[in-house]
Structure 1
Amino acid sequence: MLCVRKSYALPTIILICLTYFLFANLPPGAESPSVNERTESPDTPDQANDGRLHFTKKSEKYPVSEYIPLPTAAPSPIPQIQYDFPPESWWGRRQRVKRQKAVKEAFTHAWNGYRKHAWMHDELSPLSGDTRETFAGWAATLVDSLDSLVIMGLMDEFEEALKAIEHIDFSTTHATQINIFETNIRYLGGFLGAYDLTNGTYPILLKKATEVADFVYASFDTRNRMPQSRWEWTRSAEGLGIEPSRNTILAELGSLNLEFTRMTQLTKDPKYFDAIQRIADEMEDAQKKTRVPGLWPLFVNAQDMSFPDPRFSVGGMADSAYEYLPKEHMLLGAQTKQYRKMYDAAMDPIKKRLLFRAMTRDGKEVYFPGNIQATLSPGRETLEPQVEHLKCFLGGTVGIGAKVFDRPDELSIARKLTDGCIWGYDIMPTGIMPEIMYISPCKHLESCPWEEKKWYKDVRDRLAKGAQLEDLTGMAKSLIQKHGLPPGVTQIADAQYKLRPEAIESVFIMYRITGDQELQDAAWRMFRNIEKMTRTEFAHAAIDDVRDPHTEQLDYMESFWLAETLKYFYLIFSEPDLVSLDEYVLNTEAHPFRRPTAA
């Protein structure tokens, strides 16, 4: 509905339009405003010359009386993460640089397509050359790619992008809701990563970061100071109250730490750290009280800060909440033990209740994290052996945790998790892992001989449960052929590849930790297959079915393709001191924040 104000419009029409504008399109899980909130007298809207509503700072409804301070003690030593790489051979360097140049060419191809066809828009549609506005219309791909340009030495392109960001107005948007998590990791993270990577040489980056941070900080102005994750920013702009949702995605609540901490470190403004520390304290307090002590469920009642959801996973909707535990510890310079405690509490149930080994025909020892739905009898829940591309981050996270928290026995788990995702790529006809698939799980982690009949039964149970068993083998073979299932796979629930970075992220991290060149070779296989299947005239596109070498391409390319996926491919073929993991913490969008240095 479009409400157009005219000077001769009747007051009743104006009132109807205003009411619709303010209260329509509530975010998923958001509560309708209370009667008191609906009858509040809004502040006079802030209108710029463009006729759009603009957000300006207003008196908070629930101000903080005393900020929780950023730890000020000297940073403590953190164990070294990166492998001590020996001098490179002439042949090794030649091969590595050749691969690195191929990644850079792919990045340049996609960047030039965005620059020519979608400049200042959020995303390029890589088949049609059209544009998409998916993250409030603030040029998401441009901001998300800033530090990638620096890392790849594309400084002319970087300087051009810097001039463009001056024109981004973070006080207004056509979007009715702001996804705080995505705005935080892509925009705020993008500015902070480029600022840190260029050693603060370009003040405009911190200026724009502050604009974004101050804008989204208003989403914390709720009764309990928990953010409204799908923020109704127009209500705040009108001076009306907001509340956090009773159905808040875990990752959207628990993945604001790094960016807001770095803002306080750089600006000395305590409000940012205070905001996320309140979340951390609530999550730590609740961690051992959930249905699976040590883990948080997929959804949180952020209005009451309760955790009744019975579903537990480290995949989509949960992933970065766990990823940020060791990373926040590093960014704080190990000045507190809070994140170590939270990581320790989480790892035990992850290992005991989520991890499983995939049954593979060649006996390869690969691990994946599954899902569980908690029951009234703890420990008796059924593990769902779901493999999700988004879960591939876990190998790198466990690898980092093993190093910084001195848990060396878990390095082998990290490697097996990473090898699992490499296996997921290698078994597909396109050489690319699907978005979601199900695997035949081993009964034990230690020993797992290949059992053809077990695979057949698992396929039948997944795809034709309840069918007659007269010919299990024949039925299973028919299902396997019909659905294009490689050995050990029981279902491919989503066959798309969406240009995701999580697998190469863990391969990169484990390479930097171990120095194992087999990981570089795996990365090269992954890159060549992805480049072959996704390249378009304008850039790169998601694909519809990784089982089909002639699959259809899809007309979208999210900003993380340039911000993360190609960055990780480039870095694994770079010299190891480029964005060293002992100098930087990478946020969940691969933006590097400089770590404090211990005395």
Structure 2
Amino acid sequence: MTKEMFFHGWDNYLTFAYPEDELNPMLCNGRGSDKLNPSNININDILGDYLLTIIDTLDTLAVLGEKEIFEDAVNRVLKDVSFNQNNKVQVFESNIRILGGLLSAHILASDPTYGYAIKGYDGGLLRLAQDLADRLIPAFQYTKTGIPYPRVNLRYGVPRTETVETCTAGAGSLILEFGVLSRLTNNSYYEDVAKKAMTAIWNRRSDIDLLGNVINIQTGQWIHTASSTGAGIDSYFEYLYKAYVLFGEPEYLDMFEDAYKAIMQHVRDPSGYLYRNVHMSSGALMATWIDSLSSFWSGLQVLYGDIESAINGHLVFYNIWRRYHALPERFDFYRKTVDIGFYPLRPEFIESTYYLYRATRDPFYLHVGEMVLEDLNNRTRLPCGFASIGDVRTGRLEDRMESFLLSETLKYLYLLFDTDNIFNKIDSNFVFTTEGHFLPLAGRYLKNAPSAKDAKKIDDSVCLLHNIRTNKHHYIQHPHNLDLSSIPYRPATDFAAAIVGNNDNNNPEHNKERILLYNMLNPSGYCTSPQTIQADIQYRQQQTFELTFNTDARTHKLHRQSPKFVELVGGFLAKSLSGLKLEITKRPHRTGGGFQVTRG
């Protein structure tokens, strides 16, 4: 189904939009830069009249195994793309979508290792990549800090009126593409300017190692001091760690580990499930919303090996998706409501789902992928492509299919389900960029190989990790339907649902159970109910049973269907009971915690 959905978008783009940058799925036509309104940065930051959708999607064609279509698309790019355009574009978007797409496709087209080498290919994509990078370089040349201007005109350089304010992610997420370009062309300049920008931002971190969101490129002063893992800052952390994975240079790991420690101490809330917007100098809360871009964070945590934190954070976004059948751009976790309802078919949530499945092999994540796939197909599919959701609460659609649907969202969904895909089996150093582009780097391009000790910390970007730090938790390969180590049966799942106010309106009885569980859980997902709980179970005509909990002089009652005789992990559950009264006592943590039946 994923491949069919991809080609529904791809074929309609070629039919109705090519050679424009994007497809308008409602009007069934193409979209390029907005020349009538140059200040329309929502369009002009991204669209530069350079076949955006084609370039951004080249390596997805390889992931899908479509060698002939990949070769045809490469030839289209070589024939029709020119960067000599009088368009002002964002450096960050041009880098991750266009430069990254060209570099990935060049490596695939020229290196027979991956099975997509094109006969007679002479490096034209690399020349295009270098031409684009040369047009972006003026953004770095006239700043006192080395932090680049956010935008350049592809033909004329930096406009005189260009703002001197840029976001952390925009200026600090260039090292992968610029670094690979330097290695492939043997010209260190591109890598040097990108690295200088990244370190210039890091050197202006606060005393508690947090970064702000917006900085002045000339003075180095922070304009917006909110620190988070979301919009405006997200991919900075991603590129710190992935630069270490790709290039093997320990300084990137050192910066990342300091940043990660600060985030876990000051940005993550006490429950361990939410990553907030806090002041970079004090850690004080600045906003009560989280944004959909920050759903990438769990995937990065998987790469780093912090699986437990990744699972908990992912569950929050999973429950938001379940509630709205998409991810709103912002969700207010205090009011438990949508703050901004827009969903432009973003990939970050499914990206983290993919990484978590590769690490745990828990089929729960396949279920999550199926949920996303069905919602995308049912809510956003139109005869001419897929449309953005203007408001997840009403389902209103907007006439835009951004290139990252084909470049990332459907790519990660395909890789999630196609477990035998060649890109899931590569064990050399490579990464998927923040735009989902496949970037490997052969050993001959590495400057400093990591030590044996450091090398143990490097996980490849498909993260084939079956036994990561599992001294306390068991990750299952083929779980039984009722195996309580699977994600849906862990207390964390119910706690995350309660955080976002995710009530199952189609199952009111389940709501009662969820509320009861929530009242018995602390933010870490462990039971904190009183020492003794009285539980009465009475079966009614062998069809239903009533479960009564007495805690703190409160009574909670649940009515559920009587279960059938089923096999559980390590035992059986029988329904042939006329009545049962239990006394359940909490065990102290020193003996392993949990509960035991002390009388019944």
CA deviations on 1:117-152 (whole Å, 9 max, x unpaired) are 111211000011122124211011010010011111
Which of 97, 100, 104 is 1:189 aligned to? 100
Which of 493, 504, 521 is 2:339 aligned to? 493
Query: Offset of 1:350 from its aligned partner?
Result: 1.2
Q: Is the 8 A contact 2:168 2:212 kept in 1?
A: yes
- How many angstroms apart in 1 are the aligned matches of 2:71 and 2:296? 32
* Residues 1:170 and 1:218: Cα distance change in structure 2 (over 3 Å): farther
1:439 counterpart = 2:333: yes
Identity of aligned residues (%): 28
Q: Is the 8 A contact 2:149 2:165 kept in 1?
A: no
1:564 counterpart = 2:408: yes
CA deviations on 1:447-480 (whole Å, 9 max, x unpaired) are xxxxxxxxxxxx4xxxxxxxxxxxxxxxxxxxxx
Q: Is the 8 A contact 2:298 2:313 kept in 1?
A: yes
Query: Offset of 1:228 from its aligned partner?
Result: 1.9
Q: Determine the structure 1 residue equivalent to 2:237.
A: 322
Which structure would you say has the larger Rg?
A: 2
- How many angstroms apart in 1 are the aligned matches of 2:354 and 2:388? 22
Q: Determine the structure 1 residue equivalent to 2:14.
A: 115
- How many angstroms apart in 2 are the aligned matches of 1:193 and 1:427? 36
CA deviations on 1:196-241 (whole Å, 9 max, x unpaired) are 33453342222222221222123222253432221145543xxx88
- How many angstroms apart in 1 are the aligned matches of 2:240 and 2:231? 17
SS of 2:332 mapped into structure 1: strand
Q: Determine the structure 2 residue equivalent to 1:352.
A: 265
SS of 1:579 mapped into structure 2: helix
Amino acid aligned to 1:573: F
Q: Determine the structure 2 residue equivalent to 1:396.
A: 299
Q: Is the 8 A contact 1:367 1:417 kept in 2?
A: yes
SS of 1:294 mapped into structure 2: coil
SS of 2:211 mapped into structure 1: coil
Q: Is the 8 A contact 1:197 1:594 kept in 2?
A: no
Amino acid aligned to 1:331: L
Q: Determine the structure 1 residue equivalent to 2:370.
A: 524
- How many angstroms apart in 2 are the aligned matches of 1:524 and 1:198? 32
Query: Offset of 1:399 from its aligned partner?
Result: 1.5
Amino acid aligned to 1:191: L
1:226 counterpart = 2:147: yes
* Residues 1:352 and 1:219: Cα distance change in structure 2 (over 3 Å): same
CA deviations on 1:533-553 (whole Å, 9 max, x unpaired) are 0100011001122223xx222
SS of 2:25 mapped into structure 1: coil
Amino acid aligned to 1:222: Y
CA deviations on 1:425-448 (whole Å, 9 max, x unpaired) are 1122xx2222211114xxxxxxxx
- How many angstroms apart in 1 are the aligned matches of 2:198 and 2:133? 18
Normalised TM-score (structure 2):
0.66
- How many angstroms apart in 2 are the aligned matches of 1:227 and 1:111? 34
Q: Structure 1: which 5+ residue stretches go unaligned?
A: 1-101, 359-365, 403-409, 441-458, 460-488
Q: Is the 8 A contact 1:564 1:589 kept in 2?
A: yes
1:425 counterpart = 2:321: yes
1:342 counterpart = 2:255: yes
Normalised TM-score (structure 1):
0.66
1:179 counterpart = 2:90: yes
Q: Determine the structure 1 residue equivalent to 2:219.
A: 304
1:165 counterpart = 2:77: yes
Structure 2 counterparts to residues 505-516 of structure 1, below 5 A: 505-516=351-362
Query: Offset of 1:261 from its aligned partner?
Result: 0.5
Q: Determine the structure 2 residue equivalent to 1:543.
A: 389
Q: Is the 8 A contact 1:220 1:226 kept in 2?
A: yes
Judging by fraction of residues, say which structure has more strand. Answer: 2
Query: Offset of 1:413 from its aligned partner?
Result: 0.5
CA deviations on 1:367-414 (whole Å, 9 max, x unpaired) are 221112357xx34x2253312111100001111123xxxxxxx32101
Q: Determine the structure 1 residue equivalent to 2:276.
A: 370
SS of 2:389 mapped into structure 1: coil
Q: Is the 8 A contact 1:120 1:164 kept in 2?
A: no
Q: Is the 8 A contact 2:168 2:201 kept in 1?
A: no
SS of 2:397 mapped into structure 1: coil
Q: Determine the structure 1 residue equivalent to 2:288.
A: 385
Query: Offset of 1:582 from its aligned partner?
Result: 4.0
Which of 578, 587, 595 is 2:422 aligned to? 578
Q: Determine the structure 1 residue equivalent to 2:193.
A: 275
Q: Is the 8 A contact 1:246 1:304 kept in 2?
A: no
Query: Offset of 1:310 from its aligned partner?
Result: 2.1
Q: Structure 2: which 5+ residue stretches go unaligned?
A: 33-42, 112-116, 444-448, 451-600
Query: Offset of 1:265 from its aligned partner?
Result: 1.5
Query: Offset of 1:181 from its aligned partner?
Result: 0.6
1:260 counterpart = 2:178: yes
Deviates more, 1:240-249 or 1:521-530: 240-249
* Residues 1:241 and 1:140: Cα distance change in structure 2 (over 3 Å): closer
- How many angstroms apart in 2 are the aligned matches of 1:576 and 1:592? 17
1:211 counterpart = 2:211: no
Query: Offset of 1:244 from its aligned partner?
Result: 7.8
- How many angstroms apart in 1 are the aligned matches of 2:386 and 2:408? 14
1:555 counterpart = 2:399: yes
Q: Determine the structure 1 residue equivalent to 2:308.
A: 412
Which of 44, 64, 67 is 1:152 aligned to? 64
Amino acid aligned to 1:417: G
SS of 2:278 mapped into structure 1: strand
- How many angstroms apart in 1 are the aligned matches of 2:80 and 2:173? 24
Q: Is the 8 A contact 1:137 1:174 kept in 2?
A: no
- How many angstroms apart in 2 are the aligned matches of 1:154 and 1:233? 32
SS of 2:367 mapped into structure 1: helix
Query: Offset of 1:596 from its aligned partner?
Result: 4.1
Query: Offset of 1:515 from its aligned partner?
Result: 1.9
CA deviations on 1:129-182 (whole Å, 9 max, x unpaired) are 12212421101101001001111122332222122112344442242x221111
- How many angstroms apart in 2 are the aligned matches of 1:294 and 1:582? 33
Amino acid aligned to 1:251: A
- How many angstroms apart in 2 are the aligned matches of 1:521 and 1:307? 42
Query: Offset of 1:558 from its aligned partner?
Result: 0.5
Q: Is the 8 A contact 2:211 2:280 kept in 1?
A: no
CA deviations on 1:16-47 (whole Å, 9 max, x unpaired) are xxxxxxxxxxxxxxxxxxxxxxxxxxxxxxxx
Aligned length: 420
Q: Determine the structure 1 residue equivalent to 2:487.
A: none
1:286 counterpart = 2:204: yes
- How many angstroms apart in 2 are the aligned matches of 1:513 and 1:587? 19
